[in-house]
Amino acid sequence: MKNLLGSSIKDLETVAINYGQAAFRGRQIYSWLYNYKNKNKNIDQIEVLPLDFRKKLKEDGYTVSQLRLRDSHRANDGTLKLLLSTEDNENIECVGIPTEKRLTACLSSQVGCPMDCKFCATGKDGLKRSLKVSEILDQILFIENQMNRRVTNIVFMGMGEPLLNINDVLLSIRSINEDFKISQRKITVSTVALPKLITKLYEQSFKILGKCQFTLAISLHASNQTIREIIIPSAKNYNIRNIIEDCKQFVLETGRRVSFEYLMLSGVNDKVEHADELSNLLKGFQCHVNLIQYNPIEEVEFKQTSTTGLEQFKSRLFNNGITVSFRKSRGLDKNAACGQLRQNAKNK
């Protein structure tokens, strides 16, 4: 199958010309393809194209969507969680997080995840495969279609480890930037961090995109190596201090500050001494700490840090000169943790 989603306007003009059509037919495909108001994503629905042209595209294996909507849940705060099925009958999740002025799409980059972070439901079944560019982009269209508005911001914080699918993630960012008209500065790539891959990410970004202006978010979740290995078993392969050094180099090469995600786990990583330790680890370069409220899942016994404890931790970081904010979890009343929709579907 040859999916047209992810194709540039020049790509589609070439497709049209190769079929003996005028170049403007490619532009018509382009306009239709990235219009979220088109509910039925199949070539038959591109009615501005000649019937014979549509028939030939279908016969030659062209398609415009390979995902199917399997389930959806809308939380009381408006957050929309979608379970989508792939052509090979795997399941992935994406989330639309609305505010008055923006709609953030939380995208998956893989089916499952190999990292097995202890606080996350996604990795419990391991990694099935990486997603193709078209499967990543199609998540945006499903969110826009279901919520009837344009996505304004993108976070690669769904299922999977983006750095294990670098090329497809970067190619999808090209399309998000050029075809969906979303600036790189409104895109975040979140990673647990793997040896040498932070460097590869910005090097490949310069090669594929010509620039690297998206935000890099490191799922750090600990102030020292010992705690990090407890929370994230794969961390044993990448010392926390080496991660910080690679992040400093990322800042030097790109001019973009790094965001550190820090999931607050009661009695594990949320003490004042952890805040001091984290401050010492991060001081001296352009970064930001994003404290996150824990979403409880059935498989583990972690507990949320109290509001008082969270405020003390945040204040300590701030007083130590670290830029810090708190991100409250959205959609808690509907399958709180990433991976829960997929697991619930398996259990039905």
Catalytic residues: 93, 338
Q: What is the dihedral of CA 190, 117, 236, 272, to 10 degrees?
A: 80
Of 45, 49, 67, the residue nearest 146 (C-alpha): 67
CB 339 within 8 Å of CB 299: no
* Tokens of residue 87, six digits: 């052509």
Are the C-beta atoms of residues 275 and 311 closer than 8 Å to each other? Answer: no
* CA dist 78 → 81, 147, 218, 298 (Å): 10, 9, 27, 24
What is the Cα–Cα distance from 86 to 69, expressed in whole angstroms?
Answer: 9
Q: Which two tokens stand for residue 45?
A: 């629905």
What CA–CA distance (Å, rounded) separates 60 from 299?
Answer: 46
DSSP structure class, residue 91: E
Type of residue at 113: C
- In degrees and rounded to multiples of 5, residue 291 shows phi and psi of -80, 135
Sign of the alpha-carbon torsion through 41, 43, 44, 48 = positive
Q: Are 251 and 215 in contact (CB under 8 A)?
A: no
Q: Give CA angle at 285 (284, 289), nearest 5°.
A: 105
Q: How far apart are CA 279 and CA 291, in angstroms?
A: 13
Radius of gyration of the chain (CA): 21
Q: Are strands 187-191 and 215-219 parallel, antiparallel or unpaired?
A: parallel
